[in-house]
Structure 1
């Protein structure tokens, strides 16, 4: 009766522990979906589009400005001229003539058109350079945002893959512990093991059940996080089985990062921006030359001291206007001094960015190098833990090992399996970090990583097979010196 009950229990455990079949998405599919859905990238996309308008602003700075002015209201006009000379056909010439006009509370209108074309203006030159630099910085920031999204997506993808592996390992561990628990209870009922074995097995089973629930929660949290950024429902991920070599030496990656890293480029562009700002501040008190054309018409109609009257004035001018500031109270020199200090700050930030990027490249490179050795060691450790588990289970059969020894071996094998999965995922991310630091993280690199993922149909490494439950007949056939003492009635209680 014991053996059929045990086999039935194992069958139920296997059915409960088997994960539901669901197609796994690859990294490229998730990345392409994230490009369309990720909120952080959407913000960066809008910022990039806004920055590109600065190129048109830079071009507009040297185009002519045309202004139309119109005005109407109530006005007054009065003019006096004394000692004028007057001449008219048939009237001769008169000297000492006085003229006077007067309009009180009349309708006054004014219209003017002014066109101005800058010819020489160092401040405008600096402003145009700043606007073009702003657009270039927008391009650099956009590339950095795309690389950050690729890293963020890969991190979330592999976090889900590791969480799934942790759940699978915990479920397999729970199935093994359930088998050991059933065996412990069966042996106790047969009087072949002490009651402490059943207590140890029950405690281990309760602990692993808690681990399974915690792992299941982590899977749901990681899946939801990835779904929020991609819009893909029911996501499942795959672990990598290998990691491609970086392809260059450490010095090669350092040189590539110093030349192409987006943060270094942004800092270098900020230095150029500060130089143009200083140039603009120094030019604030400089001479400017503009081509100017203007036409205006002023008119007022109404009644005045001499009856009904209207005055009309037309003016027109085209020529070159030169503006030479003479004194501004020291404002321009003070602003130039501030700009020089800001330039020093930008240069220091560039040096800081180069140093930080160099440290990040070294960390990623050394992390990859150490990761290779770690993976090799973990692979050996996983084989050793599997062999140890097999040996411990066999020793349990013949009485050389206790149930606690088996449970400890199960735990060690589960930890080794999970550690290897985490190391492989971290190794791939070190490779992606190197590419991002050198501004080389694109879909080609992601495709290489994608090719290293575990095939969809491949299952996770299975735990070593558990031995059959020891029946009463097997127990009697075991060597006498390996038999555990049978608990008495007091022990079973």
Structure 2
């Protein structure tokens, strides 16, 4: 019975090992990358670290409480005197009442935490874009390899026919050389295409940890319909939602707080302090007076006003002012770069759709030309070279159509990325084609 059980388990394991890995689409690849990519995991830890900035900034406005304790032994110089001890325990509380540095530190901590969240969201959207690019690159590389292999097969067939025709004397050696040159070129292209496919698959695997051989392919025509919208609408959405612009705005806010903090160093600081202490001493004077142990409270307000710092504060103010202007210039640069990205992606979608339709018609024409050339070659009005050129043109049209389709899909995602809207919903709008 035990042997039978072991055989059954071994058979099940062998069956499981022989099952093919599950195929995956773009949405599954994105989800796998979120769990697998080390760069995104690092961004998540940066978010957790950045969220602590708000806590640290708030702590600057809250009271601080400290405990102090000490003990001292004193050995008198007189040899007949006994050593004595003194000890103290105290609690001290400090609360800032007016401190520009503490208040601006609180505001900077809050802004830094918000900036960390924006940067994490940007990392997530960039990860989607990277996975989509890698996914589509694999599909294009596979299509290029298939077209290259089809061209090589056609050249191989023509080469065999040319050699046979030359042997029986119905063709010249030129036909054989032309077919051989075409075959050699196709063979070199196939090697390059195989290498490129391997590189593209490795890139996708590095991001997702999935087996790129199980990737899902396009299931039909690519038609985004009328969901594009106007360019101005996308520019407005990008101005409001672009994560790059949000990040640049927060950098401006941080620079403004740095300038306020630098100017605040000219102003006084006011702190409230309160304390309670217990002191105990065994020295002769304390014993004679009967005050060996004392306790006391203290409450006070401390004011500190800087008078002169060697010009360092004025220099820090000028430095912060210059950094503020730089951050404003960076914000304007970010706005322009986002607008350019939106325009480029929008044109990629609008013109890409027309490009796909044109390439689809070109493929139909190339196929018709190939069929006509084959027929002409059979009846003797076309040469082998004409047929080889027609075959190459057809495979070029296949590659161009595939490239146009993938570029259109990526342009749609790039448009969402530029507007700060590249999420699972945007992925789903493209994933439906796989």
TM-score bucket of the superposed structures, by smaller chain? 0.7 to 0.9
Aligned pairs, number: 408
TM-score scaled to structure 1, two decimals?
A: 0.77
Counterpart CA distance in 2 for 1:169 and 1:193 is 28
Partner of 1:169: 147
Q: What does 1:291-310 correspond to in 2, within 5 Å? A: 291-298=272-279, 301=282
Residue aligned with 1:118, SS: strand
1:150 to 96, 108, 128: 128
1:280 positional shift: 1.2
1:115 positional shift: 0.8
Give the structure with the larger helix fraction.
2
Partner of 2:221: 241
Q: Is contact 2:374-2:387 (8 Å) kept?
A: yes
Q: Is contact 1:167-1:212 (8 Å) kept?
A: yes
Q: What does 1:328-367 correspond to in 2, within 5 Å? A: 328-367=309-348
Partner of 1:54: 53
Report the CA distance shift for 1:293/1:397 in structure 2 as closer, same or farther (over 3 A): same
Partner of 1:399: 380
Q: Is contact 2:58-2:109 (8 Å) kept?
A: no
104-113 or 59-68: which moved more? Answer: 104-113
1:399 positional shift: 1.4
1:298 positional shift: 4.9
Q: What does 1:205-224 correspond to in 2, within 5 Å? A: 205-224=183-202
Q: What does 1:189-200 correspond to in 2, within 5 Å? A: 189-200=167-178
1:417 to 373, 385, 398: 398
Partner of 1:258: 239
Q: Does 1:29 align with 2:36?
A: no
Partner of 2:299: 318
1:50 positional shift: 0.9
Report the CA distance shift for 1:247/1:373 in structure 2 as closer, same or farther (over 3 A): closer
1:113 positional shift: 1.6
CA RMSD of aligned residues (A): 2.7
Residue aligned with 2:90, SS: strand
Structure 2, unaligned runs of 5 or more: 1-19
Q: Does 1:134 align with 2:112?
A: yes
Q: Is contact 1:223-1:236 (8 Å) kept?
A: no
Which protein has the larger Cα radius of gyration, Structure 1 or Structure 2? Answer: 1
320-329 or 261-270: which moved more? Answer: 320-329
Partner of 2:366: 385
Counterpart CA distance in 2 for 1:435 and 1:246 is 12
Residues 299-328 of structure 1: CA distance to partner in whole angstroms, max 9, x if unpaired?
Answer: 555699xx9x99766543023333333333
Structure 1, unaligned runs of 5 or more: 1-20, 79-102, 454-493
Residue aligned with 1:62, SS: coil
Residues 429-480 of structure 1: CA distance to partner in whole angstroms, max 9, x if unpaired?
Answer: 1111111111111101101101123xxxxxxxxxxxxxxxxxxxxxxxxxxx
Q: Is contact 2:228-2:350 (8 Å) kept?
A: no
TM-score scaled to structure 2, two decimals?
A: 0.86
403-412 or 149-158: which moved more? Answer: 403-412
Residues 23-42 of structure 1: CA distance to partner in whole angstroms, max 9, x if unpaired?
Answer: 64210011110111112211
Residues 271-304 of structure 1: CA distance to partner in whole angstroms, max 9, x if unpaired?
Answer: 1111111111111232223221123345555699
Residue aligned with 2:217, SS: coil
Q: Is contact 1:23-1:236 (8 Å) kept?
A: no
2:270 to 285, 289, 295: 289
